[in-house]
Structure 1
Protein backbone atom coordinates (compact mmCIF):
# COMPACT_ATOMS: atom_id res chain seq x y z
CA UNK A 1 0.00 0.00 0.00
CA UNK A 2 1.00 3.58 -0.65
CA UNK A 3 -0.11 6.44 1.59
CA UNK A 4 -0.53 9.84 -0.09
CA UNK A 5 -0.55 13.13 1.81
CA UNK A 6 -1.99 16.34 0.37
CA UNK A 7 -2.33 19.68 2.15
CA UNK A 8 -4.97 21.82 0.47
CA UNK A 9 -7.66 24.42 1.09
CA UNK A 10 -9.26 27.37 -0.74
CA UNK A 11 -8.03 25.99 -4.08
CA UNK A 12 -11.05 24.32 -5.70
CA UNK A 13 -9.75 24.63 -9.27
CA UNK A 14 -6.39 23.10 -8.37
CA UNK A 15 -8.05 20.38 -6.30
CA UNK A 16 -10.29 19.35 -9.21
CA UNK A 17 -7.21 18.81 -11.37
CA UNK A 18 -5.42 16.97 -8.56
CA UNK A 19 -8.30 14.49 -8.38
CA UNK A 20 -8.04 14.08 -12.16
CA UNK A 21 -4.31 13.31 -12.11
CA UNK A 22 -4.72 10.79 -9.29
CA UNK A 23 -7.72 9.08 -10.90
CA UNK A 24 -5.62 8.05 -13.89
CA UNK A 25 -2.59 6.74 -11.98
CA UNK A 26 -1.59 3.30 -13.25
CA UNK A 27 -0.45 2.06 -9.82
CA UNK A 28 -2.40 -1.13 -9.23
CA UNK A 29 -1.94 -1.53 -5.48
CA UNK A 30 -4.10 -0.19 -2.64
CA UNK A 31 -3.77 3.50 -1.78
CA UNK A 32 -4.70 5.51 1.31
CA UNK A 33 -5.02 9.23 0.55
CA UNK A 34 -4.85 11.63 3.51
CA UNK A 35 -6.31 15.01 2.52
CA UNK A 36 -5.79 17.91 4.93
CA UNK A 37 -8.09 20.82 4.04
CA UNK A 38 -7.90 23.94 6.22
CA UNK A 39 -9.78 26.32 3.93
CA UNK A 40 -12.60 28.41 5.42
CA UNK A 41 -15.05 26.23 3.49
CA UNK A 42 -14.32 22.56 2.78
CA UNK A 43 -13.51 21.80 -0.84
CA UNK A 44 -15.83 19.32 -2.55
CA UNK A 45 -14.16 15.91 -2.67
CA UNK A 46 -15.65 13.85 -5.49
CA UNK A 47 -12.81 11.33 -5.85
CA UNK A 48 -13.82 7.69 -5.84
CA UNK A 49 -11.65 4.78 -6.95
CA UNK A 50 -11.73 1.11 -6.11
CA UNK A 51 -8.88 0.16 -3.78
CA UNK A 52 -8.38 3.76 -2.63
CA UNK A 53 -9.32 4.92 0.87
CA UNK A 54 -9.76 8.63 1.63
CA UNK A 55 -8.99 10.16 5.02
CA UNK A 56 -10.25 13.75 5.35
CA UNK A 57 -8.74 16.03 8.00
CA UNK A 58 -10.10 19.51 8.81
CA UNK A 59 -7.65 21.32 11.11
CA UNK A 60 -8.61 24.50 12.92
CA UNK A 61 -8.30 27.38 13.06
CA UNK A 62 -8.86 27.59 9.34
CA UNK A 63 -6.42 29.32 7.03
CA UNK A 64 -6.73 33.10 6.56
CA UNK A 65 -5.08 35.21 3.83
CA UNK A 66 -1.46 35.98 4.63
CA UNK A 67 -0.90 32.83 6.68
CA UNK A 68 1.42 29.92 5.87
CA UNK A 69 -0.13 26.85 7.47
CA UNK A 70 1.70 24.24 5.38
CA UNK A 71 3.86 22.83 8.18
CA UNK A 72 0.94 22.57 10.60
CA UNK A 73 -1.26 20.85 8.03
CA UNK A 74 1.41 18.35 7.04
CA UNK A 75 1.92 17.48 10.69
CA UNK A 76 -1.84 16.98 11.10
CA UNK A 77 -1.72 14.58 8.17
CA UNK A 78 1.35 12.80 9.48
CA UNK A 79 -0.57 12.01 12.66
CA UNK A 80 -2.60 9.60 10.54
CA UNK A 81 0.48 7.97 8.97
CA UNK A 82 1.74 4.66 10.36
CA UNK A 83 5.54 4.35 10.86
CA UNK A 84 5.47 1.36 8.49
CA UNK A 85 3.83 3.33 5.66
CA UNK A 86 5.40 4.36 2.38
CA UNK A 87 4.42 8.03 2.06
CA UNK A 88 4.11 10.03 -1.15
CA UNK A 89 3.62 13.81 -1.03
CA UNK A 90 1.04 14.97 -3.57
CA UNK A 91 0.66 18.74 -3.88
CA UNK A 92 -2.74 19.94 -4.96
CA UNK A 93 -1.66 22.36 -7.69
CA UNK A 94 0.94 20.25 -9.54
CA UNK A 95 0.82 17.98 -12.58
CA UNK A 96 1.63 14.28 -12.24
CA UNK A 97 2.26 11.80 -15.03
CA UNK A 98 0.07 8.66 -15.00
CA UNK A 99 3.00 6.48 -13.90
CA UNK A 100 4.15 8.67 -11.02
CA UNK A 101 2.97 6.44 -8.17
CA UNK A 102 4.26 3.32 -9.89
CA UNK A 103 7.64 5.01 -10.31
CA UNK A 104 8.03 6.14 -6.70
CA UNK A 105 6.81 2.79 -5.37
CA UNK A 106 9.67 1.15 -7.26
CA UNK A 107 12.20 3.77 -6.15
CA UNK A 108 11.23 3.28 -2.50
CA UNK A 109 12.49 -0.27 -2.75
CA UNK A 110 16.02 1.18 -2.95
CA UNK A 111 16.07 4.07 -0.45
CA UNK A 112 14.13 5.62 2.43
CA UNK A 113 13.95 9.08 0.85
CA UNK A 114 13.40 9.40 -2.89
CA UNK A 115 12.58 12.21 -5.26
CA UNK A 116 12.78 13.56 -8.78
CA UNK A 117 15.57 16.07 -9.39
CA UNK A 118 15.85 18.82 -12.03
CA UNK A 119 12.40 20.20 -11.24
CA UNK A 120 10.26 21.98 -13.79
CA UNK A 121 8.07 24.93 -12.78
CA UNK A 122 5.40 26.55 -14.91
CA UNK A 123 3.33 29.66 -14.09
CA UNK A 124 0.03 29.49 -15.96
CA UNK A 125 -0.78 33.16 -15.39
CA UNK A 126 2.50 34.43 -16.76
CA UNK A 127 2.80 31.64 -19.35
CA UNK A 128 6.40 31.02 -18.42
CA UNK A 129 8.27 27.81 -17.66
CA UNK A 130 11.60 27.20 -16.00
CA UNK A 131 13.85 24.17 -15.89
CA UNK A 132 15.74 24.08 -12.60
CA UNK A 133 19.13 22.49 -12.04
CA UNK A 134 18.57 21.04 -8.55
CA UNK A 135 20.56 17.82 -8.39
CA UNK A 136 21.00 17.55 -4.60
CA UNK A 137 17.36 17.64 -3.53
CA UNK A 138 13.82 17.20 -4.83
CA UNK A 139 10.88 19.56 -4.54
CA UNK A 140 8.32 18.50 -1.96
CA UNK A 141 5.77 17.78 -4.71
CA UNK A 142 8.07 15.06 -6.09
CA UNK A 143 9.27 13.51 -2.80
CA UNK A 144 8.36 10.16 -1.20
CA UNK A 145 9.68 8.43 1.91
CA UNK A 146 9.51 5.52 4.32
CA UNK A 147 11.23 4.27 7.47
CA UNK A 148 13.23 6.79 9.47
CA UNK A 149 12.78 9.41 6.75
CA UNK A 150 9.22 9.81 8.05
CA UNK A 151 10.59 11.07 11.35
CA UNK A 152 12.99 13.37 9.52
CA UNK A 153 10.02 14.79 7.64
CA UNK A 154 8.07 15.39 10.84
CA UNK A 155 11.12 17.07 12.39
CA UNK A 156 11.53 19.25 9.30
CA UNK A 157 7.89 20.34 9.55
CA UNK A 158 8.23 21.11 13.27
CA UNK A 159 11.17 23.40 12.59
CA UNK A 160 8.75 25.54 10.52
CA UNK A 161 11.07 26.56 7.69
CA UNK A 162 9.59 28.38 4.71
CA UNK A 163 10.79 25.58 2.43
CA UNK A 164 10.28 22.20 4.07
CA UNK A 165 11.78 20.29 1.16
CA UNK A 166 15.18 21.96 1.58
CA UNK A 167 15.16 21.24 5.32
CA UNK A 168 14.23 17.59 4.74
CA UNK A 169 16.79 16.87 2.04
CA UNK A 170 19.71 18.47 3.89
CA UNK A 171 19.34 15.90 6.69
CA UNK A 172 21.66 12.85 6.39
CA UNK A 173 19.59 9.94 5.15
CA UNK A 174 19.49 6.91 2.87
CA UNK A 175 18.36 8.78 -0.23
CA UNK A 176 17.92 8.39 -3.96
CA UNK A 177 17.35 11.06 -6.61
CA UNK A 178 16.18 10.15 -10.08
CA UNK A 179 15.17 11.80 -13.35
CA UNK A 180 12.29 11.43 -15.73
CA UNK A 181 10.29 14.70 -15.53
CA UNK A 182 7.09 13.01 -14.36
CA UNK A 183 6.11 16.02 -12.23
CA UNK A 184 5.68 19.69 -13.15
CA UNK A 185 5.22 22.30 -10.43
CA UNK A 186 2.25 24.36 -11.62
CA UNK A 187 2.04 27.91 -10.32
CA UNK A 188 -0.50 30.70 -10.62
CA UNK A 189 -3.74 28.73 -10.54
CA UNK A 190 -6.83 30.51 -9.14
CA UNK A 191 -7.37 30.51 -5.40
CA UNK A 192 -5.02 30.57 -2.44
CA UNK A 193 -1.51 31.59 -3.46
CA UNK A 194 1.59 29.44 -3.03
CA UNK A 195 4.90 30.20 -1.34
CA UNK A 196 7.47 28.89 -3.81
CA UNK A 197 9.53 31.03 -6.17
CA UNK A 198 7.32 30.02 -9.09
CA UNK A 199 4.49 32.02 -7.52
CA UNK A 200 6.55 35.20 -7.19
CA UNK A 201 5.58 38.25 -9.24
CA UNK A 202 9.13 38.34 -10.55
CA UNK A 203 9.23 34.69 -11.62
CA UNK A 204 11.55 34.38 -14.60
CA UNK A 205 11.44 31.61 -17.14
CA UNK A 206 11.06 30.87 -20.80
CA UNK A 207 8.10 32.76 -22.33
CA UNK A 208 5.47 30.38 -23.64
CA UNK A 209 2.65 32.45 -25.16
CA UNK A 210 1.33 29.60 -27.33
CA UNK A 211 1.63 26.84 -24.71
CA UNK A 212 4.14 24.92 -26.83
CA UNK A 213 6.63 24.53 -23.96
CA UNK A 214 4.02 23.21 -21.55
CA UNK A 215 2.69 20.90 -24.25
CA UNK A 216 6.21 19.55 -24.74
CA UNK A 217 6.40 18.89 -20.99
CA UNK A 218 2.95 17.37 -20.33
CA UNK A 219 1.44 16.58 -23.73
CA UNK A 220 -2.27 17.09 -24.31
CA UNK A 221 -2.82 17.80 -20.59
CA UNK A 222 -1.68 21.33 -21.47
CA UNK A 223 -5.30 22.01 -22.39
CA UNK A 224 -6.26 21.79 -18.72
CA UNK A 225 -4.20 24.90 -17.95
CA UNK A 226 -5.44 27.22 -20.70
Structure 2
Protein backbone atom coordinates (compact mmCIF):
# COMPACT_ATOMS: atom_id res chain seq x y z
CA UNK A 1 0.00 0.00 0.00
CA UNK A 2 1.02 3.56 -0.70
CA UNK A 3 -0.02 6.36 1.64
CA UNK A 4 -0.48 9.83 0.16
CA UNK A 5 -0.46 13.02 2.21
CA UNK A 6 -1.91 16.29 0.93
CA UNK A 7 -2.15 19.55 2.87
CA UNK A 8 -4.82 21.78 1.35
CA UNK A 9 -7.50 24.36 2.12
CA UNK A 10 -9.17 27.33 0.43
CA UNK A 11 -8.05 26.12 -3.00
CA UNK A 12 -11.11 24.46 -4.56
CA UNK A 13 -9.93 24.85 -8.17
CA UNK A 14 -6.52 23.37 -7.42
CA UNK A 15 -8.04 20.59 -5.34
CA UNK A 16 -10.39 19.59 -8.17
CA UNK A 17 -7.39 19.20 -10.48
CA UNK A 18 -5.51 17.22 -7.83
CA UNK A 19 -8.40 14.76 -7.68
CA UNK A 20 -8.25 14.51 -11.47
CA UNK A 21 -4.53 13.73 -11.56
CA UNK A 22 -4.88 11.07 -8.86
CA UNK A 23 -7.93 9.48 -10.50
CA UNK A 24 -5.91 8.61 -13.61
CA UNK A 25 -2.85 7.19 -11.85
CA UNK A 26 -1.89 3.80 -13.31
CA UNK A 27 -0.72 2.44 -9.96
CA UNK A 28 -2.87 -0.65 -9.28
CA UNK A 29 -2.08 -1.30 -5.62
CA UNK A 30 -4.11 -0.11 -2.64
CA UNK A 31 -3.80 3.54 -1.67
CA UNK A 32 -4.62 5.44 1.50
CA UNK A 33 -4.96 9.18 0.91
CA UNK A 34 -4.72 11.46 3.96
CA UNK A 35 -6.17 14.90 3.15
CA UNK A 36 -5.60 17.70 5.66
CA UNK A 37 -7.92 20.64 4.94
CA UNK A 38 -7.67 23.66 7.24
CA UNK A 39 -9.85 26.04 5.23
CA UNK A 40 -12.79 27.78 6.89
CA UNK A 41 -15.07 26.09 4.36
CA UNK A 42 -14.06 22.47 3.65
CA UNK A 43 -13.38 21.81 0.00
CA UNK A 44 -15.70 19.38 -1.79
CA UNK A 45 -14.11 15.93 -1.83
CA UNK A 46 -15.68 14.01 -4.71
CA UNK A 47 -12.87 11.49 -5.25
CA UNK A 48 -13.92 7.85 -5.44
CA UNK A 49 -11.76 5.01 -6.66
CA UNK A 50 -11.81 1.29 -5.91
CA UNK A 51 -8.94 0.29 -3.65
CA UNK A 52 -8.41 3.83 -2.39
CA UNK A 53 -9.23 4.84 1.17
CA UNK A 54 -9.65 8.54 2.00
CA UNK A 55 -8.95 9.99 5.45
CA UNK A 56 -10.04 13.61 5.91
CA UNK A 57 -8.45 15.67 8.69
CA UNK A 58 -9.77 19.17 9.49
CA UNK A 59 -7.43 20.86 11.99
CA UNK A 60 -8.24 24.02 13.90
CA UNK A 61 -7.77 26.89 14.13
CA UNK A 62 -8.46 27.40 10.46
CA UNK A 63 -5.94 29.01 8.15
CA UNK A 64 -6.13 32.81 7.87
CA UNK A 65 -4.52 35.01 5.20
CA UNK A 66 -0.87 35.67 5.93
CA UNK A 67 -0.36 32.43 7.86
CA UNK A 68 1.85 29.49 6.89
CA UNK A 69 0.23 26.39 8.38
CA UNK A 70 1.98 23.84 6.16
CA UNK A 71 4.16 22.29 8.86
CA UNK A 72 1.26 22.01 11.32
CA UNK A 73 -0.98 20.41 8.75
CA UNK A 74 1.61 17.90 7.60
CA UNK A 75 2.20 16.90 11.23
CA UNK A 76 -1.55 16.40 11.67
CA UNK A 77 -1.51 14.05 8.71
CA UNK A 78 1.62 12.26 9.91
CA UNK A 79 -0.22 11.35 13.11
CA UNK A 80 -1.99 8.69 11.02
CA UNK A 81 1.26 7.40 9.47
CA UNK A 82 3.36 4.54 10.85
CA UNK A 83 7.08 4.04 10.26
CA UNK A 84 6.32 0.93 8.20
CA UNK A 85 4.21 2.95 5.74
CA UNK A 86 5.41 4.20 2.39
CA UNK A 87 4.44 7.85 2.03
CA UNK A 88 4.24 10.10 -1.03
CA UNK A 89 3.62 13.82 -0.68
CA UNK A 90 0.99 15.05 -3.14
CA UNK A 91 0.64 18.82 -3.29
CA UNK A 92 -2.78 20.10 -4.25
CA UNK A 93 -1.75 22.62 -6.91
CA UNK A 94 0.81 20.59 -8.87
CA UNK A 95 0.60 18.47 -12.03
CA UNK A 96 1.36 14.74 -11.87
CA UNK A 97 1.91 12.39 -14.80
CA UNK A 98 -0.26 9.23 -14.82
CA UNK A 99 2.68 7.00 -13.87
CA UNK A 100 3.88 9.08 -10.93
CA UNK A 101 2.75 6.72 -8.17
CA UNK A 102 4.06 3.70 -10.06
CA UNK A 103 7.41 5.45 -10.35
CA UNK A 104 7.43 6.28 -6.63
CA UNK A 105 6.50 2.70 -5.74
CA UNK A 106 9.52 1.35 -7.62
CA UNK A 107 11.89 4.01 -6.30
CA UNK A 108 11.03 3.25 -2.68
CA UNK A 109 12.46 -0.24 -3.11
CA UNK A 110 15.87 1.40 -3.55
CA UNK A 111 16.01 3.91 -0.69
CA UNK A 112 14.12 5.41 2.24
CA UNK A 113 13.98 8.91 0.77
CA UNK A 114 13.31 9.30 -2.95
CA UNK A 115 12.38 12.09 -5.28
CA UNK A 116 12.56 13.64 -8.71
CA UNK A 117 15.30 16.22 -9.12
CA UNK A 118 15.66 19.05 -11.67
CA UNK A 119 12.24 20.43 -10.78
CA UNK A 120 10.05 22.34 -13.21
CA UNK A 121 7.93 25.29 -12.04
CA UNK A 122 5.27 27.04 -14.08
CA UNK A 123 3.24 30.10 -13.09
CA UNK A 124 -0.06 30.04 -14.97
CA UNK A 125 -0.87 33.69 -14.24
CA UNK A 126 2.46 34.96 -15.49
CA UNK A 127 2.69 32.39 -18.30
CA UNK A 128 6.28 31.72 -17.35
CA UNK A 129 8.16 28.48 -16.70
CA UNK A 130 11.51 27.62 -15.21
CA UNK A 131 13.67 24.53 -15.26
CA UNK A 132 15.60 24.30 -11.98
CA UNK A 133 18.98 22.64 -11.56
CA UNK A 134 18.47 21.06 -8.15
CA UNK A 135 20.43 17.81 -8.19
CA UNK A 136 20.91 17.31 -4.45
CA UNK A 137 17.28 17.39 -3.34
CA UNK A 138 13.71 17.10 -4.62
CA UNK A 139 10.85 19.52 -4.14
CA UNK A 140 8.35 18.37 -1.54
CA UNK A 141 5.70 17.79 -4.23
CA UNK A 142 7.94 15.12 -5.80
CA UNK A 143 9.24 13.45 -2.63
CA UNK A 144 8.35 10.07 -1.10
CA UNK A 145 9.72 8.24 1.92
CA UNK A 146 9.62 5.31 4.29
CA UNK A 147 11.36 4.07 7.45
CA UNK A 148 13.78 6.47 9.09
CA UNK A 149 13.02 9.14 6.48
CA UNK A 150 9.50 9.38 7.92
CA UNK A 151 11.00 10.18 11.30
CA UNK A 152 13.27 12.78 9.70
CA UNK A 153 10.29 14.29 7.90
CA UNK A 154 8.37 14.72 11.15
CA UNK A 155 11.43 16.32 12.73
CA UNK A 156 11.79 18.66 9.75
CA UNK A 157 8.15 19.71 10.11
CA UNK A 158 8.57 20.31 13.83
CA UNK A 159 11.49 22.63 13.06
CA UNK A 160 8.96 24.70 11.06
CA UNK A 161 11.31 26.06 8.41
CA UNK A 162 9.80 27.96 5.50
CA UNK A 163 10.97 25.27 3.08
CA UNK A 164 10.45 21.84 4.61
CA UNK A 165 11.86 20.00 1.60
CA UNK A 166 15.30 21.58 2.06
CA UNK A 167 15.26 20.75 5.77
CA UNK A 168 14.30 17.13 5.06
CA UNK A 169 16.83 16.46 2.32
CA UNK A 170 19.77 17.85 4.29
CA UNK A 171 19.19 15.24 7.01
CA UNK A 172 21.21 12.00 6.68
CA UNK A 173 19.46 8.86 5.38
CA UNK A 174 19.51 6.53 2.39
CA UNK A 175 18.32 8.53 -0.61
CA UNK A 176 17.69 8.16 -4.31
CA UNK A 177 17.08 10.99 -6.78
CA UNK A 178 15.89 10.26 -10.28
CA UNK A 179 15.10 11.94 -13.60
CA UNK A 180 11.84 11.92 -15.47
CA UNK A 181 9.95 15.23 -15.26
CA UNK A 182 6.75 13.51 -14.14
CA UNK A 183 5.85 16.42 -11.85
CA UNK A 184 5.45 20.12 -12.61
CA UNK A 185 5.08 22.62 -9.79
CA UNK A 186 2.11 24.73 -10.87
CA UNK A 187 1.98 28.22 -9.42
CA UNK A 188 -0.58 31.02 -9.56
CA UNK A 189 -3.82 29.03 -9.46
CA UNK A 190 -6.88 30.74 -7.93
CA UNK A 191 -7.35 30.66 -4.16
CA UNK A 192 -4.92 30.61 -1.28
CA UNK A 193 -1.43 31.65 -2.35
CA UNK A 194 1.64 29.48 -2.09
CA UNK A 195 4.93 30.15 -0.32
CA UNK A 196 7.52 29.01 -2.88
CA UNK A 197 9.49 31.22 -5.23
CA UNK A 198 7.31 30.25 -8.16
CA UNK A 199 4.40 32.12 -6.60
CA UNK A 200 6.34 35.36 -6.25
CA UNK A 201 5.72 38.29 -8.61
CA UNK A 202 9.46 38.40 -9.25
CA UNK A 203 9.53 34.77 -10.42
CA UNK A 204 11.95 34.57 -13.33
CA UNK A 205 11.86 32.04 -16.13
CA UNK A 206 11.05 31.50 -19.77
CA UNK A 207 8.16 33.56 -21.11
CA UNK A 208 5.46 31.33 -22.59
CA UNK A 209 2.69 33.57 -23.96
CA UNK A 210 1.21 30.94 -26.29
CA UNK A 211 1.58 27.97 -23.93
CA UNK A 212 4.10 26.08 -26.07
CA UNK A 213 6.44 25.42 -23.14
CA UNK A 214 3.65 24.19 -20.88
CA UNK A 215 2.33 21.84 -23.58
CA UNK A 216 5.82 20.40 -24.02
CA UNK A 217 5.85 19.66 -20.28
CA UNK A 218 2.31 18.39 -19.62
CA UNK A 219 0.90 17.62 -23.07
CA UNK A 220 -2.83 18.07 -23.56
CA UNK A 221 -3.31 18.78 -19.86
CA UNK A 222 -2.09 22.31 -20.62
CA UNK A 223 -5.67 23.12 -21.69
CA UNK A 224 -6.92 23.03 -18.09
CA UNK A 225 -4.54 25.86 -17.22
CA UNK A 226 -5.58 28.12 -20.11
The residue number in structure 2 matching 1:75 is 75
Give deviations 1:1-48, integer Å, cap 9, x for gaps.
000000000000000000000000000000000000000100000000
The residue number in structure 2 matching 1:151 is 151
Q: How far did 1:183 drift?
A: 0.1
Number of matched pairs: 226
| Partner Cα distance (2:218, 2:193) in 1 | 23
Q: How far did 1:82 drift?
A: 1.6
The residue number in structure 2 matching 1:14 is 14
Q: How far did 1:119 drift?
A: 0.1
Q: How far did 1:83 drift?
A: 1.5
Q: For residue 56 of structure 2, give the secondary structure of its aligned residue in structure 1.
A: strand
| Partner Cα distance (2:131, 2:149) in 1 | 27
| Partner Cα distance (2:104, 2:17) in 1 | 20
Q: State whether structure 2 residue 99 is matched by structure 1 residue 99.
A: yes
Q: Which runs of 4+ in 1 moved over 4 A?
A: none
| Partner Cα distance (2:82, 2:168) in 1 | 19
| Partner Cα distance (2:186, 2:194) in 1 | 10
Root-mean-square deviation over aligned CA pairs: 0.3
Q: How far did 1:149 drift?
A: 0.3
Q: TM-score, normalised by structure 1?
A: 1.00
The residue number in structure 1 matching 2:130 is 130
The residue number in structure 1 matching 2:34 is 34
The residue number in structure 2 matching 1:222 is 222
The residue number in structure 1 matching 2:187 is 187
| Partner Cα distance (1:99, 1:185) in 2 | 16
Q: For residue 130 of structure 1, give the secondary structure of its aligned residue in structure 2.
A: strand
| Partner Cα distance (2:210, 2:39) in 1 | 33
Q: Within 5 Å, which residues of 2 pair with 1:81-92?
A: 81-92=81-92
| Partner Cα distance (1:172, 1:225) in 2 | 38
The residue number in structure 2 matching 1:43 is 43
| Partner Cα distance (1:9, 1:127) in 2 | 24
Structure 2: gaps (5+ residues): none
| Partner Cα distance (1:64, 1:110) in 2 | 40
Q: TM-score, normalised by structure 2?
A: 1.00
| Partner Cα distance (2:178, 2:214) in 1 | 21
| Partner Cα distance (2:104, 2:46) in 1 | 25
Give deviations 1:195-221, integer Å, cap 9, x for gaps.
000000100110000000000000000
The residue number in structure 1 matching 2:210 is 210
The residue number in structure 2 matching 1:110 is 110
